[in-house]
Amino acid sequence: MAQTTQLQAIESQLSCPHGETGLDFAHMMHATNVGMTLAGFGALKLPFSAHLLEIGHGNAAHLPLLQQVAGLHYTGLEVSELMQLEAARLNHTAVAAHMAEFVHYDGTALPDFPRLFDGILSVNTVYFWAQPAAFLQPLRRVLQPTGRLSLVYMDENYMRGLPFVGERFQVYSVSALEQMVTEAGYTLLATTDHQDQVPYKDTGKLIDRQYHVSTFTLA
């Protein structure tokens, strides 16, 4: 029972970091996800002075790496109020320069934005979208006609072997995710397969992790 409770707590933190341990989980997620983030960001092929929307930015410790692209304007969207505040703290210089903003939302209703985005990025969050097909529709309205949507997600078989993946997760095969997004009015540009190594939480031993980057444009 104690192990089950612990795994449920991990699952809860991964879906929405909160409370006393939320910042620790955010630090861990940044360390293990930054490679995935850079892979998804690269697939967007953003132009100079682009506007990027990231859904589920965590603590956004990766933002300085993204802003090496000249003139990048960044908007982060996050269900965790703790992560919104921490991201703004870590990136206070970019916020003060009006090159970054962090917006809290309820996970379903997309806020009104005063602009269209050249790229939309989401890394390891699609599992937690309550109504993914419905959520993809309003994203179409804030994406430039020539813009790209990049979804980064772990391999289905890899995820099913993780002990903390429970009912909060909706696990996708590549084909299922591609079909869901194309049926929402997008055109698939490419899906690329990737592998990296991450430390196993109990032993610290590096294990292989497989993940995918699926990139879409408007149909």
pTM higher than 0.85 for the full model?
Answer: yes
DSSP 195: E
- Residue 178 tokens read as 């591609």
Q: Facing residues of 212 across strands?
A: 153, 193
Amino acid at 81: E
What is d(CA 73, CA 54) in angstroms, rounded to the nearest whole number? Answer: 11
Please state, in angstroms and as integers, the Cα–Cα distance from residue 209 to each residue in 21, 81, 138, 196, following that order: 24, 29, 32, 5
In words, the CATH class of domain 2-218 is alpha beta
Pairing mode of beta strands 206-218, 143-154:
antiparallel
Tokens matching residue 136 = 């993809």
Q: Each residue's pLDDT tens digit in the chain (219 positions)?
A: 434 455 444 444 544 555 566 666 666 777 888 999 999 999 999 999 999 999 999 899 999 999 988 899 999 999 888 889 999 999 999 999 999 999 999 888 899 999 999 999 999 999 989 889 899 999 999 999 999 999 999 999 888 877 666 567 888 999 999 999 999 999 999 999 999 988 765 556 788 899 999 999 998
- Asked if 72 and 52 touch (Cβ cutoff 8 Å), the reply is yes
- Three-state SS string over 163-193 comes to CCCCCCCCCCCHHHHHHHHHHCCEEEEEEEE
Helices (H), the chain: 2-15, 19-44, 63-66, 81-90, 92-96, 132-141, 156-160, 174-183
- CA–CA distance, 199 with 127 (Å, rounded to integer): 21
Q: Which residues contact 107 (CB under 8 A, 6 or more apart)?
A: 79, 128, 129, 130
